[in-house]
């Protein structure tokens, strides 16, 4: 396995596609359907990366990212916002809430894994290793 990735995504079709693509490249993928369940799962999994939808039930992805950053056990984990929020300022808001990177939906299946690997590579360089 290359890395353990937690996907926090409430849409089953979006989750299935991301999981399928990542598992085809030997990533270990776990999923949470709500922000709260993702926050509960993250400390147990200690994933190498979190793919976070912004529009979630119970609490939005901005609040999830802020909560992850406030937890010393999780504050170093790279967060990639994967969202359909693509209006002016949405990317900046995701990054300001604690995300390290941003991928717009609908994802491009031909580029998605490469984009995730690109961001994971950047995080490895900044931290020395994942």
Instruction: Please state the separation of Cα 78 from the chain's center in Å.
Output: 8
128 pLDDT more than 70: no
CATH for 4-127 (3.40.50.10380, 3.40.30.10, 3.40.50.2300, 3.90.870.10):
3.40.50.2300
79 DSSP β-pair partners: 50
97 pLDDT more than 70: yes
- 24-56 pLDDT, tens digit per residue, is 999 999 999 999 999 999 999 999 999 999 999
Please give the mean pLDDT across all residues of the chain.
93
Question: In the 8-state DSSP scheme, what is residue 33?
Answer: S
- Triad 119, 121, 122: Cα angle to 5°: 65
Quote the pLDDT of residue 1. 62
130 pLDDT more than 50: no
Quote the pLDDT of residue 126. 77
Domain ranges of the chain: 4-127
Contacts of 102 (CB under 8 A, 6+ apart): 80, 81, 83, 91, 94, 95
């Amino acid at each position: 396995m290359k890395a353990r990735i937690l996907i926090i995504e409430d849409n089953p079709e979006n989750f299935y596609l991301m999981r399928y693509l990542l598992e085809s490249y030997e990533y270990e993928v776990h999923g949470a359907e709500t922000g709260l369940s993702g926050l509960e799962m993250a400390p147990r999994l200690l994933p190498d990366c979190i793919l976070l939808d912004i529009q979630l039930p119970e609490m939005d992805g901005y609040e999830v990212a802020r909560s992850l950053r406030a937890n010393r056990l999780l504050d170093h984990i790279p967060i990639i916002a994967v969202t359909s929020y693509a209006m002016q300022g949405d990317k900046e808001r995701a990054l300001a809430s604690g995300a390290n990177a941003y991928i717009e939906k609908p994802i491009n299946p031909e580029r998605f894994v490469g984009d995730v690997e690109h961001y994971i590579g950047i995080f490895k360089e900044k931290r020395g290793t994942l």
